[in-house]
């Protein structure tokens, strides 16, 4: 664990390059979700997670690094699930072993395995906690939070993931990256304390279905609103007067449009981030309970814990007002 500070710097630097890639909440979203989820943990495990708050927060984008920077082919389907392509959602096998019998490998690679992978990481995290493997606990907890965050981003559950099927391209990054970066500092991140999940499998699928229910409403809101804009006001322009694009080819919507879209969504982005926080802290807590409630405090030195006690107390007070220390001021638009 001595090399965590160096690792964080390298990974965070790399993450800057993927902040605007679609299929991710972006740095702002994932970091706020992970940070708030730590604050929502109960005392018996909160101290350990808070001791490593920086790591848990900044490692939140590592799965995206594996996908985009390391080009890990196995990583891509872990971030989404095109539910429409699976047919009736009630006919989808809940256990992954049964799903692999019904769908071939290519189908799953093309259409996503997000809910099944959440459960796989959950199983690994539970075992790591039971065995008190400190490094694995931290890495797996951060990874699990990332996939849970993705599951609470509606467009991660749809084949129309970037509005490409309905002439709404660019909506993905606008919803999950641009909006949180512009308005997220005013969101309320206080969600109350973690609760135990009786049925992890059911909770996972309920989470995915709930997100998918938001897909059509958000696309409809966008279609209606963009009809009131002209191409000149809908997008930013580059120095030559052409519609601006980022380095990934995504159209860059104007600040005015993003602002009106955010207003028209009536709190949907904040709500989905809050759901991700609640689910993340609940899953972490459930893994700890199912592992037998191991003493995680003993994995750190008393000196480290004592050194952070005052900061934890102050940060909890701040969190109960809805804010998070050290994050809200970084993206002042």
**Domain map (residue ranges) of the chain:** 4-185+192-227+267-323
Q: Rounded to whole angstroms, how far apart are CA atoms 205 and 115? A: 7
Evaluate if pTM is beyond 0.85. Answer: yes
Residue 53: both structure tokens together: 């708050």
**For the domain 4-185+192-227+267-323, what is the CATH code?**
1.10.575.10
- Which has the closest alpha carbon to 154: 84, 223, 103, 86? 84
- pLDDT (tens place) for every residue of the chain, 333 residues total: 333 333 443 344 333 343 334 446 778 999 999 999 999 999 999 999 999 999 999 898 888 888 777 777 889 999 999 999 999 999 999 999 999 999 999 999 999 999 999 999 999 999 999 999 999 999 999 999 999 999 999 999 999 999 999 999 999 999 999 999 999 999 999 999 999 999 999 999 999 999 999 999 999 999 999 999 998 899 998 888 888 887 767 789 999 999 999 999 999 999 999 999 999 999 999 999 999 999 999 999 999 999 999 999 999 999 999 999 877 544 333
Can you say how many angstroms the Cα of residue 182 is from the centroid of all Cα atoms in its chain? 17
**Cβ neighbours of 189 (radius 10 Å):** 25
């Amino acid at each position: 664990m001595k090399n965590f500070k160096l690792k964080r710097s390298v990974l965070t630097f790399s993450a800057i390059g993927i902040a605007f890639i679609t299929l991710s909440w972006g740095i702002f979203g994932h970091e706020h979700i992970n940070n708030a989820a730590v604050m929502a943990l109960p005392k018996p495990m909160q101290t350990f997670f808070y001791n490593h708050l920086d790591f848990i927060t900044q490692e939140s984008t590592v799965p995206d690094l594996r996908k985009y920077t390391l080009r890990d082919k196995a990583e891509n389907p872990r971030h989404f699930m095109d539910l429409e392509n699976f047919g009736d959602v009630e006919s989808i096998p809940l256990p992954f072993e049964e799903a692999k019998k019904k769908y071939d490998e290519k189908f799953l690679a093309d259409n996503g395995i997000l809910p099944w992978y959440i459960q796989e990481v959950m199983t690994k995290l539970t075992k790591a906690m039971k065995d008190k493997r400190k490094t694995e606990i931290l890495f797996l907890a951060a990874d699990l939070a990332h996939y849970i965050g993705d599951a609470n981003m509606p467009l991660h559950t749809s084949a129309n993931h970037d509005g490409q099927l309905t002439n709404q391209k660019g909506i993905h990054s606008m919803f999950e990256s641009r909006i949180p970066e512009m308005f997220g500092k005013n969101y309320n991140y206080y969600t109350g304390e973690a609760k135990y999940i009786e049925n992890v499998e059911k909770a996972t699928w309920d989470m995915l279905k709930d997100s998918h229910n938001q897909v059509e409403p958000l696309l409809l809101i966008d279609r209606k609103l963009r009809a009131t804009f002209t191409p000149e006001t809908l997008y930013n322009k580059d120095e030559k007067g052409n519609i601006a694009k980022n380095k990934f080819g995504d159209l860059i919507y104007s600040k005015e449009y993003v602002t009106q879209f955010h207003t028209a969504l009536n709190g949907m982005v904040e709500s989905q981030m809050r759901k991700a926080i609640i689910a993340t802290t609940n899953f972490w807590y459930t893994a700890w309970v199912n592992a037998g409630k191991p003493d995680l405090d003993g994995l750190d030195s008393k000196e480290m814990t004592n050194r952070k006690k005052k900061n934890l107390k102050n940060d909890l007070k701040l969190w109960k007002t809805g804010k998070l220390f050290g994050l809200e001021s970084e993206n002042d638009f």
